[in-house]
């Protein structure tokens, strides 16, 4: 029995043989040998053709995944807003990011109902007119100010008479973060130059005075040299702070791996600040449970953290008369690892709430003159923040005007693996 796929092979072979036989009959050359060989050719041709399977063709387009569904899934996964419109600027498609940005956006409604941005709407007109893609910007002010770069692209689609074909695609890229970083960089350079210029112009002023009017005044020379020395020290300190900030930033993604005892570091820092506290009439004390408080950390960096917090409390909160440093172990909730918390509390004038979120910005000081007078550069808490980021730590500043300030630092507690601790104790 022949199947449907075999039949064409036999038909083909028979047709070929028939053509030869008819041709030979017409020319009178038909003989038995030719008839026998034609029969053999028919048989071989038919059999050879029978074994062949038809070539496997790709499934027709309708059997594959639905093209619009694929496009929709792709759009949904693009984190930036994407909007497709037709030549009347009616919205045909918008991904979830676009809907989040423009909650009033509706399909089959004009884009201008939800996007009130003359630059973008004019841009769409131009793209439709010229067929050339272009870029513009879109700035929203509600709920917060955000800036977007809008790429308006022309799609090579047939221009249906009543609209309805996706003729233009809008792609919005959020520039807010990039602009914020750029502003920070510009501010940083301006602030650093300003901080360096102040002591530098003081130095130049004193040098000129010493070369001129005070040339032969031995007492003035002594006094001026003292001031020049402290101004030069201030510049050195500023440069040291800037360098350590950039070093810490470079290593911010490399978590420390060595265990250190935070309680010991805290006691050491409190001892070091005893002379400053005495000079200012501040009672400085440290309170720990007595045992070690191990954390994974970089000793020098953690010293800088505690140094700055204790120094700030004595310098800016010293008028309250006491500064208390304490350490506690905090149990982790729901099986999470515990933390070590260090608290530095003063009873000074406190900090107004509007300043608190900005204290960790570089060069930010509540009272610039008072901080500068005390030798401060305004980089201390910025360094604290970066060190804590590297140590997976947290910083909280609580303060009330007139009632003092409490700064808390919490770090993941280090618990050695049982095998590691057994090996260590051997
Ligand atoms: N305990 C505190 N009480 C009141 N104000 C504080 C306290 N701690 C910090 N501040 C305010 O926060 C500002 C920023 O502190 P930060 O440590 O970053 O800089 P600084 O102390 O001025 O300079 P540096 O730390 O480089 O010496 C200080 O200038 C001060 O105005
Ligand atoms: Mg400080």
Tens-place pLDDT, residues 105-127: 999 999 999 999 999 999 999 99
Which numeric CATH code is attached to 179-250? 1.10.287.130
**Residue linked to tokens 């201008």:** 112
Q: Are 323 and 314 in contact (CB under 8 A)?
A: yes
Task: Read off the pLDDT of residues 212-242 as tens digits, 9 standing for 90 and up.
Answer: 988 888 898 999 999 999 999 999 999 999 9
The CATH code of domain 259-419 reads: 3.30.565.10
Pairing of strands 283-287, 322-330: parallel
Using DSSP's 3-state secondary structure scheme, residue 160 falls into coil
Is it the case that residue 264 has pLDDT exceeding 60? yes
Kindly write down the DSSP assignment for every residue of 369-392, as one continuous string: HHHHHTT--S-HHHHHHHHHHHTT
Please tell me the residue having the least CA distance from ligand 1 atom 28. Answer: 365
Answer for the pair 235, 200: CB distance below 8 angstroms, yes or no. yes
Q: How is the chain split into domains, by residue range?
A: 7-51, 67-174, 179-250, 259-419
> Which among 379, 63, 53, 50 is positioned nearest to 238, based on CA atoms?
379
Could you give phi then psi for residue 211, rounded to 5 degrees? -80, -25
* Contact (CB, 8 A) for 30 and 55: no
- Evaluate: CB of 95 within 6 angstroms of ligand 1: no
Ligand 1 atom index nearest CA of 364: 14
Give the model confidence (pLDDT) of 276-332 as tens digits. Answer: 999 999 999 999 888 899 999 999 999 999 999 999 999 999 888 999 999 999 888
d(CA 353, CA 15): 99
Residue 352 C-alpha to ligand 2 middle, in angstroms?
17
Question: Alpha-carbon distance 380 to 407, whole Å?
Answer: 13
Q: Does domain 67-174 have CATH number 3.30.450.20?
A: yes
Rounded-to-integer distance, Cα 408 and Cα 411, Å? 10
The pLDDT of 83-96, averaged and rounded, is 92
Task: Return the residue whose CA atom lies nearest to atom 20 of ligand 1.
Answer: 378
Q: Provide the residues around ligand 2 (an ion) whose CB is within 5 A.
A: 308, 312, 380
**Residue 298: other Cβ atoms inside 10 A:** 19
Query: Is the CB of 380 within 6 Å of ligand 1?
Result: yes
Does ligand 1 lie within 6 Å of residue 351's CB atom? yes
Cα(378) to ligand 2 centroid in Å equals 6
* Run of H or E including 423: helix 418-425
Q: Identify any residues that bridge with 394 across adjacent strands, giving them in sequence order.
A: 410
d(CA 371, CA 383): 16
Would you state the pLDDT for residue 103? 92
Residues 6+ apart with CB under 8 A from 357: none
pTM above 0.75, yes or no: no
**Of 277 and 31, which is predicted with more confidence?**
277
Of 285, 404, 391, 410, which is closest to residue 342 (Cα–Cα)?
410
Report residue 139 as tokens.
């700035």
Ligand 1 site, residue 199, Cβ cutoff 6 A:
no
Specify the pairing of strand 146-154 against strand 168-174: antiparallel
């Amino acid at each position: 029995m022949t199947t449907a796929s075999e039949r064409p092979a036999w038909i083909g072979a028979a047709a070929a043989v028939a053509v030869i036989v008819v041709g030979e009959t017409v020319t009178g050359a038909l003989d038995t040998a030719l008839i026998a060989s034609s029969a053999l050719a028919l048989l071989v041709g038919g059999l050879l053709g029978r074994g062949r399977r038809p070539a496997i063709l790709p499934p027709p387009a309708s059997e594959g995944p639905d093209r619009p569904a694929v496009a929709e899934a792709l759009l949904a996964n693009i984190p930036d807003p994407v909007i497709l419109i037709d030549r009347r600027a009616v919205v045909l498609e918008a991904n979830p990011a676009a809907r989040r940005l423009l909650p009033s956006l509706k399909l089959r409604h004009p884009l201008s109902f939800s996007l009130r941005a003359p630059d973008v709407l004019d841009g769409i007109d131009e793209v439709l007119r010229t067929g050339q893609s272009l870029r513009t910007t879109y700035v929203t002010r509600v709920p917060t100010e955000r800036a977007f770069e809008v790429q308006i692209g022309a799609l090579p689609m047939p221009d249906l008479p009543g609209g309805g074909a996706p003729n233009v695609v809008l792609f919005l890229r959020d520039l807010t973060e990039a602009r914020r970083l750029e502003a920070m960089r510009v501010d940083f350079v301006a602030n650093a130059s300003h901080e360096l210029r102040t002591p530098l112009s003081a130095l130049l002023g004193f040098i000129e005075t010493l070369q001129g009017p005070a040339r032969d005044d031995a007492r003035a020379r002594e006094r001026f040299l003292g001031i020049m020395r402290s101004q030069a020290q201030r510049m050195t300190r500023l440069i040291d702070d800037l360098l350590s900030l950039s070093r810490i930033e470079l290593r911010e993604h490399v978590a420390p791996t060595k265990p250190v005892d935070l309680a010991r570091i805290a006691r050491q820092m409190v001892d070091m600040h005893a002379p400053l506290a005495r000079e200012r009439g501040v009672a400085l004390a440290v309170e720990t449970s007595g045992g070690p408080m191990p954390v994974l950390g970089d000793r020098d960096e953690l010293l800088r953290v505690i140094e700055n917090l204790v120094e700030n409390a004595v310098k800016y909160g010293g008028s309250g008369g006491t500064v208390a440093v304490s350490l506690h172990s905090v149990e982790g909730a729901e099986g999470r690892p515990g933390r070590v918390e260090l608290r530095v509390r003063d009873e000074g004038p406190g900090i107004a709430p509007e300043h608190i979120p900005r204290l960790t910005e570089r060069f930010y000081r509540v009272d610039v003159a008072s901080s500068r007078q005390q030798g401060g550069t305004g980089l201390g808490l910025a360094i604290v923040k970066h060190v804590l980021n590297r140590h997976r730590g947290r910083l909280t500043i609580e303060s009330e005007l007139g009632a003092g300030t409490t700064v808390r630092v919490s770090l993941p507690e280090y618990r050695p693996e049982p095998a590691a601790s057994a090996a260590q104790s051997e």
